Amino acid sequence: MKPAWDKLIAEWKDSTTGLVADVDCTTAGKPLCETHGVRGFPTIKYGDPSDLQKYEGGRDYDALSKFAKENLKPTCSPANLDLCDADKKTEIEALMAMSEGDLEAKVKEGEKKIEDVEKNFKDAVSKLQADYKKLQEDKEKDEKEVKDSGMGLAKAVLANKKKNKEEL
């Protein structure tokens, strides 16, 4: 992916509407990565710098370039109200009318909901993994019991009978 990413950086280096860059999350860029929830590498984020989204598309140059051309441009935001439809303008205006404290509370509430969703997901996955492990153990135990009950000998006797029958 690195050569494709480097080519994309070069393609966008003089852009006035979008930025494609590298951030080293292990050194000076670590605080930025922590702020934006970067946990694995490489991670690609895009969008408004105050609300970056995770890119989930292809990692080859063509996919990255296509996505960049379609998405790295000014979008509806408080700084670009002229790009918003009427509903988004109304929503932004309502949020702008709120106090900073109320906005911080709203953001914290949303972040808490996302944390809860993530925790519920992880808990459910852990339960599924435990259930899967138990089912796998039960299956193996039951299969062993069937085999140990004489099925192997029954197969051998059946094969021998068929063989003797064919020889007649």
pLDDT value, residue 168: 65
How far is it, in rounded angstroms, from Cα 8 to Cα 55?
Answer: 15
pLDDT value, residue 130: 96
* pLDDT tens-place string over residues 55-78: 999 999 999 999 999 888 888 889
* pLDDT tens-place string over residues 119-140: 999 999 999 999 999 999 999 9
Architecture label for domain 1-73: 3-Layer(aba) Sandwich (3.40)
* pLDDT tens-place string over residues 86-121: 999 999 999 999 999 999 999 999 999 999 999 999
Q: Please give the structure tokens belonging to residue 69.
A: 């051309």
Where along the chain do its domains lie? 1-73, 119-168
Please say whether the beta carbons of 1 and 63 come within 8 A. no
